[in-house]
Amino acid sequence: MVFSDRKQAGQLLGEKLVDFAHREDVVILAIPRGGVIVGFELAKKLHAPLQVLVTKKIGAPENSELAIGAVAEDGRPIFNEDLVRRLHVTDAYLRTATALVHKKIADYIQQFRDGKVLHVSGKVVIITDDGVATGSTMEAALSWLQGKHASEIILAVPTGAKESMVRLEKLADRTVVLDTPLWFTAVGQFYRNFPQVTDREVKQILRAS
């Protein structure tokens, strides 16, 4: 399945979640930046509030786009031990990269939520992104949510690598995904229009929601 853009992907995903519309206990959490566009469409469809859950990937040496791990808001890193081992990533690199990601997360929480803490206790949380490749950032997000006493955690994404989704669905109460192709190299291959999303766009979307 190929989507025209993130907006269409969010609209199609929202159709699979209509049972959660108009419920006061539902909240949409989107992973910035691309996930915020998908999340905005879900929020409109379900008439639910939208917030961001900040996670950042830890890129591989000499290939920052390849996630060898990720960090969520609690600062705890999650590493893909197999990738770390195969790429011979040093402990020194992991420490330095993790420290840089911590700073970015703090900056994003200040930018996108004015530094406010997320409270999801007792809520049905629908966590979304524009897609799942290695699954590192989503794994960090779901792991963070595990200790926040949500009444239900629903992982909802337009597309995801099959192997990653099998791993992630164990961390959610329910999973909704429109397509899990076997051949998956990058999220962008499943979108005809997949531009970079800026911090400014994220802030505009959050204000509009």
Asked whether residue 1 is domain-assigned, the answer is no
Instruction: Give me the mean pLDDT over the 121-145 stretch.
Output: 95
Query: Which pLDDT belongs to residue 191?
Result: 98
Query: Above 90 in pLDDT, residue 66?
Result: no
Q: What is the mean pLDDT of the chain?
A: 95
- Non-local (6+) Cβ contacts of 131 within 8 A are 34, 157, 158, 159, 160, 187, 190
Same domain, 142 and 161: yes
Residue count of the chain, please give it.
209
Task: Write the CATH number for 76.
Answer: 3.30.1310
Residue 159: pLDDT over 90: yes
Same domain, residue pair 100 and 186: no
52 pLDDT more than 90: yes
State if pTM tops 0.85: yes
What integer pLDDT is reported at residue 182 of this predicted model? 86
Chain-centroid distance, C-alpha 73: 12
Compute the average pLDDT of residues 171-177: 98
- pLDDT of 166 higher than 90: yes
Tell me: do 137 and 204 sit in the same domain. yes
Residues 15 and 103 in one domain: no
Is the pLDDT at 177 greater than 90? The verdict is: yes
In the structure encoding, which two tokens stand for residue 149, read together?
Answer: 């006493």
Check whether residue 192 and residue 125 sit in a common domain. Answer: yes
Q: Are 145 and 118 in contact (CB under 8 A)?
A: no
Of the residues 45, 80, 112, which one is the last residue of a structural domain? 112
Q: What percent of the chain has pLDDT over 70?
A: 100
- Shared domain for 86 and 182, answered yes or no, is no
The pLDDT score that the predictor gives to residue 74 is: 86
Q: Which domain holds residue 29?
A: 6-55+115-208
159 — phi, psi (to 5°)? -150, 150
